Amino acid sequence: MYNPQVPTDGHSPTVEANFGNNIKAFGNAPAPHGNQRIRHLLKCFGLRTSLIRLKVIDALLTAADSQRALGVRGVHSQLLELGIPLSFLSVREVLKRLCSEGVLTLNADKSYSLNEEAAKVLEGRG
């Protein structure tokens, strides 16, 4: 009988690794601004999850933790430093869309920050 899990090339199967449920085996626990929280935030605002939205929001959260405010150029620069090759126009359009949907706020100094309601969602209060 054919078993798709057994190789058919004549070699014996390798021993399976026992991964268990210990997340420490892979290093530290997930970062406090992990993708799951951002995915939940986008879902609460009725937005689809996309890689660029995840990265842009994560960049803003990281900057906020460091007491820094970022505008379009700052977000774009931070993403480039992380090796995420997104165009300036793409970053700008994502920021504009997140503002129009109420996730972000454009401040008077042209920097972006999370809307108060979005911050509550991320903190688990919304």
48-70 per-position pLDDT tens digit: 999 999 999 999 999 999 999 99
| Cβ atoms of residues 72 and 63 within 8 Å | no
| Cβ atoms of residues 110 and 71 within 8 Å | yes
| Cβ atoms of residues 78 and 59 within 8 Å | yes
pLDDT tens track, the chain, 126 positions: 555 555 555 555 444 444 444 433 333 333 454 689 999 999 999 999 999 999 999 999 999 999 999 999 999 999 999 899 999 999 999 999 999 999 999 999 999 999 999 999 988 876
Q: Is the residue at 24 inside a domain? A: no
Does the reported pTM lie above 0.85?
A: no
Q: Is the residue at 23 inside a domain? A: no
Q: Is the residue at 3 inside a domain? A: no
Q: Tell me the residue range of the domain where 42 lies.
A: 31-123
| Cα 124 to Cα 111: distance, rounded to the nearest angstrom | 24
CA 54-124-53 angle, to 5 degrees, is 10
Q: Is the residue at 35 inside a domain? A: yes
Q: Is the residue at 10 inside a domain? A: no
Residue 45 phi, psi (nearest 5): -95, 5
Q: Is the residue at 98 inside a domain? A: yes
Q: Which is nearest to 122 in space by CA: 29, 54, 68?
A: 54
Q: Is the residue at 11 inside a domain? A: no
Domain holding 92: CATH number?
Answer: 1.10.10.10
Q: Is the residue at 118 inside a domain? A: yes
What residue ranges in the chain does DSSP mark as E strands?
A: 104-106, 112-114
What total number of domains does the chain contain? 1
Structure tokens at 119: 């911050």
Q: Which amino acid, residue 29?
A: A
